Amino acid sequence: MDFQELGTSGVQIPDIGLGTWKYTGGAEPFRRAVELGAGFIDTAEGYRNEEEVGKALEGIRDKVFLATKVSPGNLHEKDLLKAADQSLKKLNVDVIDLYQIHWPNDEIPIAETMGAMESLVDAGKVRFIGVSNFFVGQMQEAQDSLANARIVTNQVRYSLIDRSIESALLAYCQEQGVTVIAYSPLATGLGKLSDKDRTKAVETVAANTGKSQAQVALNWCLRQPRVMVIPKANSATHVEDDCGASGWRLSDSDLAILDAAYPR
């Protein structure tokens, strides 16, 4: 498993973690991920599974980098602080490694929200601050609202069939030292990748590399600096397959095949 720096924090995180939207796998996939070095687990209060995730992490919490998110309806200071305490309780942890704003909310002043986020860091309840689904301008405003802390991540959709962040957001994050956490990196299923490409480019590249189709699709995301991926894996077998996407790189010729099939 390859590792990269979380933002500019000096902390190392794996290229591959586990997303838990609609997760049904229980503890076994988490434990296998930790064994393979992919101990980055991402959830959210909006997923309504923090208690389940917390139970699955019993006995391995010290080996996991744990991320969760606050919902956009809870971005007023009082609501955010309460939501953080509830997440800590449900996850059964003393500190959240990465606390993220799940979606921006233009009806609530970002300065109020980021002030509350920073107070959680100062209180020792949160180690790092992240955002999710933020555009460049929103990220700039959010960062300007922080006194001392830095935004270390932006979690956004990124896959072969959704390359929209390549227009501006990806470059901004790379320039600012912000880690991009790619969710739905398999486009919620390899079938959707096939539906978008009748040339079977992913299958072709999988044959060229001796890798699985999932590994090809995930490695394509990882070709970009400061990008990590969090596919969902409801079984240990799927975790093993996903983790095989790290530690190698697609050739220029294989990248050309994929770019031709899935243009920006």
CATH of residue 244's domain is 3.20.20.100
The rounded Cα 71 to chain-centroid distance in angstroms is 16
Relative to beta strand 65-70, strand 96-101 is: parallel
Amino acid at 261: A
Return the half-sphere exposure (C-beta side, CA atoms, 13 A cut-off) of residue 155.
27
DSSP string, the chain: --EEESTTSS-EEESB-EE-TT----HHHHHHHHHTT--EEE--GGGT-HHHHHHHTTTTGGG-EEEEEE-GGG-SHHHHHHHHHHHHHHHT-S-EEEEEESS--TTS-HHHHHHHHHHHHHTTSEEEEEEES--HHHHHHHHHT-SS--EEEEEEE-BTTB-GGGGTHHHHHHHHT-EEEEESTTTTSHHHHHHT-TT-HHHHHHHHHT--HHHHHHHHHHTSTTEEE----SSHHHHHHHHTTSS----HHHHHHHHHHS--
In a domain, 217, yes or no: no
In a domain, 81, yes or no: yes
- Over its length of 264 residues, how does the chain's per-residue pLDDT go in tens digits? 999 999 999 999 999 999 999 999 899 999 999 999 999 999 999 999 999 999 999 999 999 999 999 999 999 999 999 999 999 999 999 999 999 999 999 999 999 999 999 999 999 999 999 999 999 999 999 999 999 999 999 999 999 999 999 999 999 999 999 999 999 999 877 778 888 888 999 999 999 999 999 999 999 999 999 999 999 999 999 999 999 999 999 999 999 999 999 998
Q: Domain limits at 87? A: 3-189+223-248
Q: Domains in the chain: how many in total?
A: 1
In a domain, 28, yes or no: yes
Q: How far apart are CA 143 and CA 140, in angstroms?
A: 5
Mutual angle of helices 201-209 and 252-261, in 10-degree steps: 170
* Cβ atoms of residues 185 and 231 within 8 Å: yes
In a domain, 8, yes or no: yes
In a domain, 166, yes or no: yes
Rounded to whole angstroms, what are the CA distances from 117 to 24, 97, 184? Answer: 30, 13, 26
* Cβ atoms of residues 242 and 214 within 8 Å: yes
Q: What pLDDT, on the 0 to 100 scale, is given for residue 197?
A: 86
In a domain, 261, yes or no: no
In a domain, 39, yes or no: yes
Q: What pLDDT, on the 0 to 100 scale, is given for residue 196?
A: 83
In a domain, 206, yes or no: no
